[in-house]
Structures are given as structure tokens and as C-alpha cells.
Amino acid sequence: MKVFVDGQYGTTGLKIHNRLSKRKDVELLTISEEDKKDPEIRIKVLNEADIVFLCLPDHAARKALTLIKNPNTRVIDSSTAFRTHDEWTYGLPELSALQRGEIASAARVSVPGCHATAFVLAINPLVQKGILPSGYPVSCQSLTGYSGGGKALIEQHEAGRFGNVNDSLNHPQHYSLNLDHKHLPEMKKFTDLAFQPVFLPTVCNYYNGMVMTIPLVTRLLINQPSLQEIHAALTDYYQGEAFVRVIPLGDTKEISQYALDPTLCNGTNCSEIFVLGNDDQVLIACRLDNLGKGSSGAAIQCMNIMLGLDEGLGLIEGM
């Protein structure tokens, strides 16, 4: 199986390339340093591959897609460019009972954004099970490592650590203050919400890992469910999933103030969902690695499904 990572030196591309380089079932196609600027060589490799990962900015991903003429070349894109496009399949296998089949047969798969992944995993089951009204005024916040900001933000933080270039980078920083984060369209579409949530992300001074939190007022939910009923709905929805774990209520009863450390899923393709609070006010939290289940891990999980392989191959230790 021939695979090409277009943009292999970016944050996501490098992670995908490194993971796949350890696999014997994959032939990684590469372009040498001296040939990187030769468009004909790039076009040749794009069309020679069975699977192409596009790990590029939105505009570059759209351009790269026009260069692929081979009808047998399947594409997995990590940008925002195609996530809500009707001709692309959303690369979140746990979205519904049908989503794996959609991914398996797809020629074009778009990897979800990291914030969107956490949000959809936490909220979608409650909408589908008739607990959360589609018109509920959802708000959410996330804490994320600076690697989610790409090369420029990584360089700023790394420079700041050694040269104190910008002292503000040492503290958490809210962003998207105009409430227009680029993940919002997919957060709405793939939860069947009537309106986009109010979303405030926060970038922190650590490399990777994230936690998304969503508060819910149960008196505004359908049939005013208890905390236990909300937990049971999420647990049932993800029964048997390898990469989504709903933390048992017994494990969260005496939760410490540090239990939601955003980095505890780092290095994995796993996501963990917590149901906290009480019967009046519930806090749902979803923790994952923004470079794992939030990008490169999810991309490889989709590739495995598309190729009819065990989706944990290269993602679970020992596989």
C-alpha cells in the first residue's frame, strides 16, 4: 500500500509520517529535499499513491486536490477545507453506527478538528438520544496546548521559553474572542444542533493535550434527566469503542481538582469523557491529545478503516 504525506514536515504531517514509518504494511512515498519545489514530481507522487494525507493549510489543501487525477487515489485531509462539504466523509468513526461504513467506502475523508472532536463526542449522543434539545443554548470552553496553533505559535512559545520573547505566552490566553472559531461549523453540523455553540478556546503554555468542558442545566433538557441518566446515555452510546471511554461515575465522585489535567491522554488516540456535577447542573468534559485523536491519530484510524484493517493498527501498543 503506497502512502504519501503531503506536508510531512508540519506538526500533523510529521506525526503521521513517524507513525507510518514503523509499519511494514505501508510503503511511504517521499520527495527529496532537492525535488520539493518541482511541481511535476509532486504531481507524480500524489497520483502514484493509494492513500494521500493532505496536511496543509486550507488553501493549499484545495490546490493539492486539483492535482490528483488518479480516480483510485483516496484522500484524507487534515485541514478545515472540506469538513462540512457534502461530498466528503467526516472522519469520526464514533459519530454513529453508520459512520464506519461511510469512512470505509469513502474516496475523500476529512479529519475533524481537535476542539470539534471533543465537542461532538461529548454532545452528539445526548442530541441523538433525545436528551439535549437541538435548540439548547450550548456554551463550551477548552484548554489546549500550543501545538494546536501550528508552526508559528509553536515557534513563539519555544522562543519565549528560552528568551522570554513574550512574557504573556507564559500564561493562558483566550482566543477567537469574536466567537468565530473555524471549528464551529462542524461542531454544529455533526451534533444536529440548531445553532452554533458559544465557544471560547484557551491556549496554554504546554505543548499538547486538551480538555473541552460543556456545562448543562438539566431543567432545560428534555424530561429533566439526572446526572446518572446523562452518564448512562453516554456510556451506552460508546459501548465497545476502543478509543472513547466514559469514566465511571464511581471514579469521579471524589474527583480531585487536578483530575482534568489536559495532558493525561497525550501520546494516545484515546478520548475520555467525564460527567460531573449534580442533578441540577452537569459538567461534561472530554479529554484527548490534540495531536492524537485530535489530528494524526484520527487520520491513521480513518486510513485503517478505509483499508479494511483493524483500526487500532499502529495506534494501540503491540498492534
C-alpha pair distances (Å), 50 with each of 88, 107, 173, 318 = 17, 10, 41, 25
Angle CA(82)–CA(128)–CA(242) in degrees, nearest 5?
A: 70
Following DSSP, what letter does each residue of 130-171 receive, concatenated? TSS-TT---EEEEEEEGGGGHHHHHHHHHHHHHH-S-GGGGS
pLDDT, residue 162, reads 44
pLDDT tens per residue across span 247-302: 999 888 778 877 899 999 999 999 999 999 999 999 999 999 999 999 999 999 99
**Phi-psi label, residue 7: left if phi above 0, alpha if psi -120 to 50, beta otherwise:** left
Is 55 considered catalytic here?
no
Mean pLDDT over each residue of the chain, to the nearest integer: 93
Catalytic residue (one of 55, 114, 270, 302): 114
The CATH fold assigned to 2-111+294-306 is: Rossmann fold (3.40.50)
Segments making up each domain of the chain, as ranges: 2-111+294-306, 114-288
User: Cβ distance 225 to 133 under 8 Å?
Assistant: no
Kind and range of the H or E run holding 173: strand 173-174
Q: Which CATH number fits domain 114-288: 3.30.360.10, 3.40.50.300, 3.40.50.620, 3.40.640.10?
A: 3.30.360.10
Decide which of 152 and 101 is more confident. 101
User: 502512502: which residue's cell?
Assistant: 3
141-169 mean pLDDT: 67
C-alpha pair distances (Å), 148 with each of 123, 168, 268 = 22, 18, 16
pLDDT, residue 151, reads 60
Q: What is the pTM of this model?
A: 0.94
